[in-house]
Amino acid sequence: MNMKNRTLVFKSGDEDFEAGLLKAADIIRTGGTVAFPTETVYGLGADALNADAVHKIFKAKGRPADNPLIVHIANIDQCSKLAEEIPADAIKLMETFWPGPLTLILKAKDVVPDVTTGGLNTVGLRMPDNPVALELIRRSDTPLAAPSANTSGSPSPTTAEHVIHDLDGKIDAILDGGPADIGLESTVVDMTDKVPTILRPGHVSAEDIRKCVGDVRIGYRDRTLEEGEVARSPGMKYTHYSPKTKVILIEGNIKDVHKAMTEIVSDCHREGGRVGLFVTEETAKVVNADEICSLGKRNIPSQAARSIFMGLRHLDDKEIDLIIVDGTLKKEGIGTAVFNRLRKAADRIINV
């Protein structure tokens, strides 16, 4: 193996973790790339103000150049260096939800290179709620541009193992802080209009935002945009979260979903295929197949949030021809964000 291409791994709790953090910050300051844990998913960080360093993120992920990166900061004061015209509502949201899973889109200052903003005149800012992430940003002494630390288009990484699976040898280091708490990416809110607009749903809900600033618009769709449709957030154009195995999502009332699921499993078996189910605990008692992975309890969508990417990756590693996902999960709270990701991951959505 070429030693130059090895990715260093430092594990939180290990004796050498303190030295690992110092090394990781040094890598960032000298223009390298470091994957780190956040409360949402693992991020792949580089110095947001160093265009060459940020290019390395796009190269490692195979990310389209017009898909901007979220810039991660460790204190609110850093915002005024990166963004101008910070509206009062944005400050309210920062004070209420930071550190936490909320990204705010603001007018960018010129110091933020084009490669970081995907050529837009805006920048997405967020303060992650994870001690390792915050420590890395502080010690690097610069904001970190960091998208999810996966191969572009594949399910997001919620453990250091997922990052190694996708990016080993392509990035300089990984800080392993254990599994991500939330498991889904941040809520993205555009603050450049009078009324805040949600561009991507996440753990911070529309209702949470409305309570804080009074009004909010929904600016996202749960499917990838067709050619010719205009994207307010470039990420909306691209296929996301998709395993290699074909994914079918079945939505509708519980009995009909179970019936449709059973039929599709039988059809696949008749043709000699093998099926993986990604289903709630309740559905797992009713429908069976060759592999099963749990979304948790139907009425507790935070469990599905924590397992969605892990489950899709797990099933994708099995010898199966099809993944069927259970759309009977509760669609409230973070359930809204879970369905957004599931619908984007699905090759086919069946409504019964």
Question: Which positions touch Mg ion (CB under 5 A)?
Answer: 148
User: Sign of torsion, CA 314 317 318 323?
Assistant: positive
Ligand-binding site membership of 258 (annotated): no
Cα–Cα–Cα angle for 85, 93, 91, rounded to 5 degrees: 35
In a 13 Å sphere around the CA of 85, the CA atoms on its Cβ side amount to 11
Closer residue to Mg ion in complex, CB, 171/279: 171
Residue 155 CA: distances (Å) to CA of 163, 242, 251 = 11, 6, 21
72 is in an annotated binding site: yes
Nearer to ligand AMP, 83 or 322 (CB): 83
Nearest distance, CB of residue 145 and ligand AMP, angstroms: 9
Identity of residue 95 = E
Of 190 and 251, CB closest to Mg ion:
190
Give whichever of 10 and 241 is closer to ligand AMP, judged by the CB atom: 241
Residue nearest to ligand AMP (CB): 235
The conformation of residue 6, written as its DSSP 8-state character, comes to: P
Residue 196 binds which of ligand AMP, Mg ion, none (CB < 5-8 A, kind-dependent): none
Which of Mg ion, ligand AMP, none does residue 302 bind (CB under 5 to 8 Å by kind)? none
| CB 68 to ligand AMP: min, Å | 4
d(CA 128, CA 180): 12
- Closest contact distance (angstroms) between CB of 69 and ligand AMP is 6
- Which of Mg ion, ligand AMP, none sits in contact with 157, Cβ below 5 to 8 A by type? none
Instruction: Choose between 166 and 326: whose C-beta lies nearer to ligand AMP.
Output: 166
- Considering the complex, state which of residue 258 and residue 341 has its C-beta at the smaller distance from Mg ion: 341
Q: What angle do CA 84, 86, 91 make, to 5 degrees?
A: 150
123, interface contact from ligand AMP, Mg ion, none, CB < 5-8 Å by kind? ligand AMP
- Which residue ranges make up the site for ligand AMP (CB under 6 A)? 67-68, 70, 105, 117, 120, 122-124, 147-148, 185, 188, 199-200, 233-235
In the three-class reduction of DSSP (H, G, I as helix; E, B as strand; rest coil), residue 212 is classed as helix
Residue 131 three-state SS = helix
Tokens encoding 351: 């409504």
**Minimum gap (Å) between residue 4 Cβ and ligand AMP:** 27
Please give the helix or strand (H or E) that residue 199 lies within, else none: strand 197-200
Taking the complex as a whole, the smallest distance from the CB of residue 150 to ligand AMP amounts, in Å, to: 8
Cβ 323 to ligand AMP shortest distance, Å? 22
Spatial contact of 158 and 179, defined as CB atoms under 8 Å apart: yes
Element (H, E) at 82: helix 79-82
C-alpha span between 137 and 71 (Å, rounded): 11
Task: Give the residue numbers of the binding site.
Answer: 40, 63, 67, 72, 122, 126, 146, 148, 156, 186, 200, 241
